Structure 1
Amino acid sequence: MLKKGFDAEKYIEEQSKFILERINRGNAERLYLEFGGKLVHDKHAMRVLPGFDENAKIELLQKLKDKAEIIICIYAGDITTNKTRHDFGITYDLEVLRLIDTFRHYDLKINSVVVTRYEDVPSVNMFINKLERRGIKTYKHRFTKGYPTDVDTIVSDEGYGANPYIEVSKPLVVVTGPGGGSGKLATSLSQLYHDFKRGTKARYAKFETFPIWNLSLKHPVNIAYEAATADLKDVNMIDSFHLEAYGEMAVNYNRDLEVFPVVKRIIEKITGEESEYKSPTDMGVNRVGFAIVDDDVCRESACQEIIRRYLIAECDYKKGKISESSLERAKLLMKEVGKDVSDRKVVQPARDYADKKRDCDKRYENVVVMAIEMPDGTIITGRSSRRMVAAAAAVLNAIKKLSGIADDMLIITPQVLESTQKLKINYLESDRTSLNCEEVLMALTISGTQNPSAYVAISKLPLLKGCKAHCTAILSDRDEQTLRALGINVTSDPEYVTTNLYNN
């Protein structure tokens, strides 16, 4: 049973109160609140802070929905390079569409989408056309002239003034995006500039969940943030501005610290008065650190996330997605917390079982094994066969265990399994003969119409949410998506199942 380290209710209560205080502070008519990290489905926070509700931040905004509207930013370069969000395995442009649907589900007002550092290329223009033809207002913001050092040019008609103004009406404008580098800060400051030119007093603040400013620099939760952003080369640092202004230690990260003097000068140039902010930490409205109720639990969960990030980095390096320096950084961060991949409980059992099968029979030379850690801490394994992939076998064995069904009992009707495989090979012309995880679960569902045991096993699938798993080979995209949908936190060894380059 997962131990709780974080109080989600306390967090929402404290965070909403603090945001309201920031909105009402001073005589400003509007607050632009830059949302860093994931506004919805924050699975990283959920993993490192057990008890954190992955949708806590959007539920918080829902409480403020009468006062709020949302601007979504996406960097044009992320569209052209098909940058991907790891948690869902979808590109940033698709993530924007998913965000819009999610915000609508929560009855939150979506103002518009801003394509930042706009490039006149087909993929970017196609994305804009797709949005506009579905009734989503879009804006193009180009690179800000003079940025980052020439403040006089930045805060002028040539700089922020060259951007079209985004018409807003609510006192709280949430500026978010699919990930880091989306242009949220530039969009917020551009709006600030236009509002003051129009005679509207506005303010800026930042909501960044990680790093947690009131935890120590080397706290595993903060190091886990560095591991999550190893490809961005984010580094946690002591906020020297905060220390100098208040004599208080606070943690921030390099990009915020580097840009703070410029942001402070830009805000002062726009408003014509001294900035209320003495440090990057001052700009933040993050109260997540105050809702940690068991530090030891959060430390251990963060260490597990750091190991997970390293294993993902190994696979990403094998796929050519990241540089060797990013991989080395992920490894160094894991060593910094005194951990190794063997500290992820599911890794060694998967490898040992695969080695055992290979040693005892040459027919299993290419065997792949997946191990799943069950809610009670026991380990269940499954291996690949001519019928199904390792992920499918492991999930099947796991739900049989949860249902109290004997390991040797067949719960999928053999004829259903055989027919599904024939369909895949003979009619869909698949090069892969083994059924993937989704296909096996479909076959199990069909069997459930006649076999009560199959029906019981299917009902246990939700109990796998939050379980850890490890596979001895890189998973197919389809299997990764299925396991992600089941809520299983899976990692893999950086090995391909075959030597094929296309069908792998």
Structure 2
Amino acid sequence: MKKVGFDIEKYLQEQSAYILERVEQYDKLYLEFGGKLIGDKHAKRVLPGFDEDAKIKLLNTLKDNAEIIICVYAGDIERNKVREDYGITYDQDVLRLIDEYRAYGISVNSVLLTRYEGQPTAKVFMTKLERSGIRVFTHSQIKGYPTNVEEVIGEEGFAKNPYIETTKPIVVVTAPGPASGKLATCLNQMYHEHRLGNKVGYAKFETFPVWNLPLKHPVNIAYEAATVDLKDVNLIDNYHYEAYGKVAVNYNRDMETFPVIKRIIERITGKESVYQSPTDMGVNRLKSGITDDEIVQEAARQEIIRRSFSVENDYKKGLADEDSVRHMQVILEETNLKKEDRAPVLPAREYAKQLQEQEGSTNLQAVIAVELPNGEMITGRTTKLMDASAAAILNSLKKLANISDEIKLLSPMILETIQRLKTDELNSRVPTLTANEVLIALSISAVTNPTSELAYKQLPNLQDTQAHSTVILNRENEQTLKNLGMDVTNDPIYPTDNLFYN
């Protein structure tokens, strides 16, 4: 049974009350949402008991008074940046987010493309949104933002970027990922709102780092590990200490820009800012939900290891630089962690080595190890019929259903027929069946085969299991495992020399 160290109800109650306190001070509050508004899987992993959709559920309680602006950096659309946890590009994620918000009955005001420079792919995306009835705006990059305050406040700054008309007292500004221009959007809106005579404020809905946990608490270090590509570093908020004599944790980007942001807000409003520190700007009651710090710390340590694998894989794929890899190595050193501290890593590697020795081969063996909820370790290997992902899932389902390992859940004849379809009719050069293909076969077999049905019914119990592969998974298999709720890592090694199919 999964250990729980976080009380989601207590957190939501305190967080909601604190937001409403801020709202009461203004005619309109622009609320920048840091992290994922929906599907915050990082928070779910480091805070066992956290609901990955907690923030949208909180916002749902305020929906009569709230609307959403979705920001996306035009450059991310142009280069097809991918949101890794869902395996979809940012433009696709914007569409997904709009559907999700609408399902909750929360008003989506518009989509804003930031730092727009006429990128062709971004233009196509804008047209698609507009033809679907979505309001679309663009903001161009402001020369000298944010440090050149005079330029930012001048006619070539916020004034030239359009005002997005809003009608509700809470305007949530969110995005598919970081560095999407959320803060600049909030400040731009504040500039125009003030010119219209509205009393307007800004706050940031923070999740990580947690300002009132120690600087080197594993939860805060896990945030640093998750943002190595952004070069984020956690720091003590010296502004907060000087103002209040209290230690608070923030991160370098907020610390560096705070004096400038404070000055911009003061120039916009013509009043001294109510904020004395970057921590003041945040609305973060996350610590109030932690009920068992030891459980949370261990979960955060595991997340740090998981992130180390992720960074190495991104480097192998050309998506991360050497600085990110080095920073991740430093984080592992300072937390006294090694990759083998992740439970399924050694069993996967040891089984792969055993297979290699048995076959007298120097070829890399593709193996996946899965740690079941009871701690038992199950492995699967690539065979002529199916790949390691498919084998590991079937073996895990058999164990969960107490089905003997000798019993076959799927007839080899059925699998071979599917293989012939792949190779002969669909012209695939990879005959081995993927996890998705085998799961479809299992679901069909479950209709007539009671044993297959027993295994099929165990699929929900793969949620939150830990898995490790000795080779880089292809995107389809990786996404299938993630869709099942499995946390998977892999060694940064391609299974073959075939560049296209890797």
Give the TM-score normalised by structure 1. 0.98
Counterparts of 1:272-351 in structure 2 under 5 Å? 272-351=270-349
Counterparts of 1:25-64 in structure 2 under 5 Å? 25=25, 28-64=26-62
Deviation at 1:374, TM superposition (A): 0.1
Alpha-carbon distance in structure 2 between the residues aligned to 1:49 and 1:98:
25
Is the contact between residue 75 and residue 119 of structure 2 (CA under 8 Å) also seen in structure 1?
A: no
Pairing 1:469–2:460 present? no
Match of 1:367 in 2: 365
Alpha-carbon distance in structure 2 between the residues aligned to 1:410 and 1:146:
65
Q: How many residues align?
A: 502
Q: Give the SS at the match of 2:202.
A: strand
Match of 2:148 in 1: 150
Deviation at 1:364, TM superposition (A): 8.4
Which consecutive aligned stretches of 4+ in structure 1 deviate over 4 angstroms post-superposition?
none
Q: Give the SS at the match of 1:431.
A: coil
Counterparts of 1:100-499 in structure 2 under 5 Å? 100-362=98-360, 365-499=363-497
Alpha-carbon distance in structure 1 between the residues aligned to 2:91 and 2:206:
22
Q: Which amino acid aligns with 1:479?
A: N
Match of 2:15 in 1: 15
| Deviations, residues 202-226 of structure 1 (Å, cap 9, x unaligned) | 1000012000000000001000001
Alpha-carbon distance in structure 2 between the residues aligned to 1:297 and 1:486:
23
Deviation at 1:366, TM superposition (A): 3.8
Alpha-carbon distance in structure 2 between the residues aligned to 1:144 and 1:173:
22
Q: Give the SS at the match of 1:503.
A: coil
Provide the identity percentage.
56
**Unaligned stretches of 5+ in structure 2?**
none
Q: Which amino acid aligns with 2:115?
A: R
Q: Give the SS at the match of 1:51.
A: coil
Deviation at 1:301, TM superposition (A): 0.4
| Deviations, residues 220-263 of structure 1 (Å, cap 9, x unaligned) | 10000010000110000000100000000000000001010011
Query: Residues 280, 311 of structure 1: CA spacing in aligned structure 2 closer, same or farther, 3 A cutoff?
Result: same
Q: Which amino acid aligns with 2:261?
A: V
> Which moves more between the two structures, 193-202 or 142-151?
142-151
**Unaligned stretches of 5+ in structure 1?**
none
| Deviations, residues 44-63 of structure 1 (Å, cap 9, x unaligned) | 00000000000000000000
Alpha-carbon distance in structure 2 between the residues aligned to 1:197 and 1:144:
19
Give the TM-score normalised by structure 2. 0.99
> Which moves more between the two structures, 153-162 or 321-330?
153-162
Is the contact between residue 416 and residue 447 of structure 1 (CA under 8 Å) also seen in structure 2?
A: no
Q: Give the SS at the match of 1:119.
A: coil
| Deviations, residues 451-496 of structure 1 (Å, cap 9, x unaligned) | 1110111111111111110000000111011001001000011111
Match of 2:2 in 1: 2
Is the contact between residue 149 and residue 262 of structure 1 (CA under 8 Å) also seen in structure 2?
A: yes
> Which moves more between the two structures, 274-283 or 146-155?
146-155
Deviation at 1:373, TM superposition (A): 0.4
Is the contact between residue 146 and residue 261 of structure 2 (CA under 8 Å) also seen in structure 1?
A: no
Is the contact between residue 74 and residue 119 of structure 2 (CA under 8 Å) also seen in structure 1?
A: no
Is the contact between residue 370 and residue 470 of structure 1 (CA under 8 Å) also seen in structure 2?
A: yes
Deviation at 1:402, TM superposition (A): 0.6
Q: Report the RMSD for the aligned CA atoms in angstroms.
A: 1.0
Is the contact between residue 236 and residue 251 of structure 1 (CA under 8 Å) also seen in structure 2?
A: yes
Q: Give the SS at the match of 2:208.
A: coil
> Which moves more between the two structures, 175-184 or 88-97?
88-97
Q: Which amino acid aligns with 2:21?
A: E
